[in-house]
Amino acid sequence: MASNILSRLQKLRRNLADNALDGMFVSQEDNRHYLSGFLGTAGSLLITAREAVLATDFRYIEQAGIQAPDYRIVQISATSPDWFAKLTADLNIKRLGFEAGDITFSRHRQLSESILGTNSQLELVPTEGTVEAIRMVKEPEEIEFMSSAAGIADKAVEHARKVIHAGLKEKELAWEIEKFMRESGSQSLPFEVIVASGPNAALPHARPSERRIGNNEPVVIDIGARIHGYCSDLTRTICLEEPNGGDPKFKQVYAIVLKAQSAAITGITKGTTGRDADALARKIIEDAGYGKAFGHSLGHGVGLDEHEQPCLGPNSKDVLTDNMVFTVEPGIYLSGWGGIRIEDLVVLENGKIRPLSKVAK
């Protein structure tokens, strides 16, 4: 049995015992992949104290056997939910946790109807963030994959700095970056490359447009690569300066955002809460008079998903501990002018932050 799958299952089983659950129904795609190794896009896991079953349909049966050797594979119908009642009865499950954040209202109704008669004693218990909490703390191999993905994003930014010039369209630069990352070994990108120039840079999640990049304006580039399923997330904001000087406002705002980011990177230690981490950077931006212009959280966990737990934000009670991987990404956005965001991917190790990307200067 693959040792990482075994230890992940052990953690989940401990959680089941703590919550008096006989089993867990895992439907969320990344969670399913994490707990089994299975990469198919349809299928469900049923995990009890002793059993680990992967139920999937004809299309994925062979793949499931290869990718999830630790699981008993059960072939089910892609169109009828009847298997659910039979399988939960066979496994003697009375209280079954399901992922409330993933199961839709209609799927829940379908499952509830399917157990009537066959396994009517089954209680479906909503759970939240169970597997996600296990995923928060990374294994060495996961950190290595993200480090490689961060390296590709770093190189892509270097490439972008070489090819960017006034008159280039945002979309053209975005495609250059995307092509570069794919050719450097990234799997399909976790999210669309963001290139936002001038006033567009005031929108934290702008999409690349036909706008032509100009001199003396901020250009936000937010990109991620993916290696073995694991993402990276990196933002740089650059400004094409004219020979006679550049934009003093850009330099002034950039220095504040960079100072805020450094304060968080050096200040976060083992045990810092998501709220306190956020406050480290937010205080500097507020003191500089831009508090209202930093309208999002400081950062987020990264793993199989580009946005996962923990959250580093004003309302987050998450406690940061060793081997968590997350972003540190303060920003200042000024409507009409543009914005500056600086984002690096980091891991908390031995109580201190170790950047996985080349930290911004």
Residues 6+ away with beta carbon under 8 Å from 229: 33, 39, 145, 187, 304
From residue 184, how far is each of 141, 189, 203, 228, 339 by CA, in Å?
20, 12, 29, 14, 29
Half-sphere exposure of 133 (CA within 13 A, CB side): 11
At 24, is the secondary structure helix, strand, or coil? Answer: strand
Q: Which of 327, 347, 348, 353 binds Zn ion (CB under 5 A)?
A: 327
Identify which range of 93-101, 128-136, 217-225, 314-322 contacts Zn ion by CB under 5 A. Answer: 217-225
Identify which range of 133-141, 174-182, 233-241, 277-285 contacts Zn ion by CB under 5 A. Answer: 233-241
Identify which range of 45-53, 152-160, 231-239, 259-267 contacts Zn ion by CB under 5 A. Answer: 231-239
At 134, is the secondary structure helix, strand, or coil? Answer: helix
Q: Which of 233, 247, 278, 344 binds Zn ion (CB under 5 A)?
A: 233
Please, which residue, 54 or 342, has the CB nearer to Zn ion?
342
Identify which range of 48-56, 85-93, 111-119, 342-350 contacts Zn ion by CB under 5 A. Answer: 342-350
What span, in angstroms and rounded, lies between the C-alpha atoms of 152 and 275? 30
Provide the minimum distance between the beta carbon of 41 and Zn ion in the complex, in angstroms, as a whole number: 24
Provide the minimum distance between the beta carbon of 222 and Zn ion in the complex, in angstroms, as a whole number: 4
What span, in angstroms and rounded, lies between the C-alpha atoms of 156 and 182? 10
- Please tell me whether residue 278 binds Zn ion under the rule CB under 5 A: no
Q: Check if the beta carbon of residue 194 is closer than 8 Å to that of residue 220.
A: yes
Look-up: residue for tokens 């919550």?
19
Provide the minimum distance between the beta carbon of 326 and Zn ion in the complex, in angstroms, as a whole number: 9
Query: Regarding beta strands 308-312 and 325-328, do their DSSP bridges make them parallel or antiparallel, or are they unpaired?
Result: unpaired
Please, which residue, 37 or 310, has the CB nearer to Zn ion?
310
Provide the minimum distance between the beta carbon of 234 and Zn ion in the complex, in angstroms, as a whole number: 7
Q: Which of 22, 170, 217, 222 binds Zn ion (CB under 5 A)?
A: 222
Please, which residue, 25 or 230, has the CB nearer to Zn ion?
230
Please, which residue, 114 or 237, has the CB nearer to Zn ion?
237
Residues at the contact surface with Zn ion, assessed by CB under 5 A: 222, 233, 235, 327, 343
